[in-house]
Amino acid sequence: MIVRPAAQPRGGAPVVEQLHLDISARPLRAPLLGALVERWSTPGQPRGTWLGYAWGGERLVLDSLAVPERLVDQPMLFEVLRDGSYRISYQDTKLVEGVVGESAAGNGVELRVARIEAAPGTRFMLTRHDPARTADAVRLGLGVESEGADVAAARYVWPGNTRIPNWQRAWSMA
C-alpha cells in the first residue's frame, strides 16, 4: 500500500499521522499458494484475482483515510469494483462506496483513493491503526548504531517489525 503525505502538513500532527504510517492495506491472499506467488510478483503489476484472492503485485494508493473511533484498529474489507470504483464494508455492513480520484464519505468513514492497481474482485483488509500506539511502535523499533570506532558515522537499525502497521514505508523514509 502507498499513502501519499498530505500536500499541507497538519499543524501539530504527529509524524506518524502526516506520513500515514498508521494505515495499512493488505491484499487478501489465497491460503498457502498466495504468499508463495506474491514473492515473485512485481508491485504495481497485478497477476489478477481468483475467488476474490490477490495473487501478487496489487497496490492501493490512498491520499487520506479517517474513521470514527469505533473503527480504529478494526480491519475493514476494501473491495475493488469495476470502472475504478470500490466498496468498503465492516462486518457485512456497507460503509462507503467511491470512485478513484474522488473523495468519498459514509458512516463516519472519509477517504480519497488515488489509485488502485488490482483487478475487479480483489479484496484488501484496510485498517486505520491507533496513531499513539503506532508512534510508540516506531519509537521502540527504530535504533541508531555507530559504525565502529568512528562516532561520526551511524546507521539506522529497524528489524522487520510487524507491530508497526506500515513499517516498510517508515523504513524507506528513514
Q: What is the largest CA-CA distance in the chain?
A: 59
Higher pLDDT residue, 113 or 38?
113
**Alpha carbon distance 38, 135 (integer Å):** 29
Contact assessment for residue 89 and residue 76, using Cβ atoms and an 8 Å cutoff? yes
**Alpha carbon distance 155, 142 (integer Å):** 11
**Mean pLDDT in the chain?**
76
User: Does pLDDT of 11 surpass 50?
Assistant: no
User: Does pLDDT of 24 surpass 80?
Assistant: yes
Helix (H) or strand (E) run with residue 133 in it:
helix 131-141
The predicted structure's pLDDT at residue 70: 96
Percent of the chain whose predicted confidence (pLDDT) is above 90: 36
User: Does pLDDT of 124 surpass 80?
Assistant: yes
**Alpha carbon distance 89, 84 (integer Å):** 17
Task: Return the closest-CA partner of residue 64 out of 28, 99, 109, 95.
Answer: 109
Task: Return the closest-CA partner of residue 67 out of 128, 121, 24.
Answer: 128
| Domain edges within the chain | 23-128, 141-173
Mean pLDDT along residues 61-74: 94
> Which residues, in sequence order, are CB contacts of 84 under 8 Å at separation 6+?
99, 100, 101, 116
Mean pLDDT along residues 100-119: 95
Question: What are the strands of the beta sheet with 109-117, ordered from one edge?
Answer: 2-3, 59-66, 109-117, 103-106
Higher pLDDT residue, 12 or 134?
134
